Amino acid sequence: MTWTKKHTQLNDIFSDLVPNKEGITKYVRDAGLKPQFIDTSGNAMDVWSNVISEAEKNSKVDNLVRSMLTTYPDNSFLKSALNSGEIDFSLSPDIDETSFWEEVSDDTLEVLTMEQSSLLPVNFLAKGVLKSKSVGKVEVKIGSSNYSVGTGFLFKISGIDDVFFITNYHVIHNREDIERTRIIFDFELDINGDSLPSRSFKIDPNGPWYCSEIKEYDATIFKLIDQDSTLAEFGWIDLKEIEITKNDFVNIIQHPKGEMKKISLYHNIVTHKDERVVQYLTDTQRGSSGSPVFNSDWEVVALHHSGGGSRPGEPALPSGIKSRNEGIFINNIIQFFTENHQNI
């Protein structure tokens, strides 16, 4: 069969929703496929790839999607898979292609499971809410009705007066996409569970445009048009050089799959840090690319850019915890931005 973009994205979605191989057989049977014809070697993503190939061969891809919808009826990407040729969202780069993945050590697992208290002062929540105001959804229109989605945030750096917005290079880097892009704030629920009135802003096509490719810092930085002088209501996050070490905890504010704003809180733990990247265990999904990764003081330590399931041979993790998440160390982003902004 010819493997298309739709197959790739279905593979990503299925793997996010059902990351354990043991849970896949149910959907195979519900779709009218025969489990004995599916190669179940490798990890869950590999198995899902084999399932999709078998479904395509038997013209039952839609059946497979419908079987998933019985469990996840509100998933927007599953629903769109039945109505359009492609499901569009920003695909994270493969960690294996951009950097070395450091496996999770035994001492990290000990901290994660029992050794470290997760008690925090109650103002931790209030500070997080304030920071979340500056996080927005990135939406790039693709074709007539599809959208590619990501996350980003408003920021300032000491010594530079203007407020900028940052997301991943792999979310947007082509100036030709500026007119088709909007940045949406307050796309979230209020304390009563009702939708807030969201507001969107366009990218300033005449403003600064700083891009660092995926294998460097995977970042795109620009300014937004503040036509009605309302952007200040969303504040900004002050970026400063920071220290982060293995076994520190991190938190991520994100728009997973382009959905309403969510937060991934403890226990998210740093498994590795080097000069370029920070790697951590947490729960992210497609659309989380470009999210700010915070420490326990709500200081940004990284720009999230990639995540995925564990690989064969990696240590077993507690149920529900994903491995292989990575962000670009924020000190690199600050240096990249400062050097480029000083040169204009």
How does pLDDT run across 164-179, given as a tens digit for each residue?
A: 999 999 999 999 999 9
Which one-letter DSSP state was computed for residue 49?
H
Write down the pLDDT at residue 89.
Answer: 60
Residues 72-80 have a mean pLDDT of: 76
Q: How far apart are CA 301 and CA 278, in angstroms?
A: 8
**What is the bridge-based pairing of β-strands 237-239 and 146-157?**
parallel
- How do residues 194-231 score in pLDDT, each as one tens digit? 888 899 999 999 999 999 999 899 999 999 999 889 99
pTM passes above 0.95: no
**Higher pLDDT pick, 76 / 158:** 158
Alpha helix segments (H runs only) across 114-247: 123-132
336 pLDDT above the threshold of 90: yes
Proportion of the chain above pLDDT 70, given as a percent: 79
Residue 253 and residue 290 in contact, taking contact as beta carbons nearer than 8 Å: no
Residue 208 and residue 344 in contact, taking contact as beta carbons nearer than 8 Å: yes
Write down the pLDDT at residue 47.
Answer: 87
Write down the pLDDT at residue 20.
Answer: 81
> What does each C-alpha distance from 177 to 16, 126, 145, 203, 216 come to in angstroms?
28, 36, 15, 10, 21
Question: Could you give the 3-state DSSP secondary structure of residue 154?
Answer: strand
Q: How far apart are CA 296 and CA 286, in angstroms?
A: 24
Proportion of the chain above pLDDT 90, given as a percent: 40
**Higher pLDDT pick, 207 / 108:** 207
Write down the pLDDT at residue 242.
Answer: 94
Q: How far apart are CA 212 and CA 219, in angstroms?
A: 5
Residues 270-298 have a mean pLDDT of: 82
Confidence of residue 250 (pLDDT cuts 50, 70, 90): confident
What mean pLDDT is reported for the chain? 82
- How do residues 87-97 score in pLDDT, each as one tens digit? 556 666 666 66
Write down the pLDDT at residue 228.
Answer: 86
Convert 309-334 to b/e letters by CB count within 10 Å (16 or more is b).
bbbeeeeebeeebbbbbbbbbbbbbb
Q: Which residues are CB-contacts of 55 (< 8 A; sequence separation ≥ 6)?
A: 31, 33, 61, 63, 64
Confidence of residue 342 (pLDDT cuts 50, 70, 90): confident
> What does each C-alpha distance from 130 to 28, 127, 157, 235, 264 come to in angstroms?
44, 5, 18, 8, 16
Question: Could you give the 3-state DSSP secondary structure of residue 174?
Answer: coil
Write down the pLDDT at residue 263.
Answer: 78
Single-letter code of the amino acid located at 339: E
Q: How far apart are the first and last CA of the chain?
A: 50
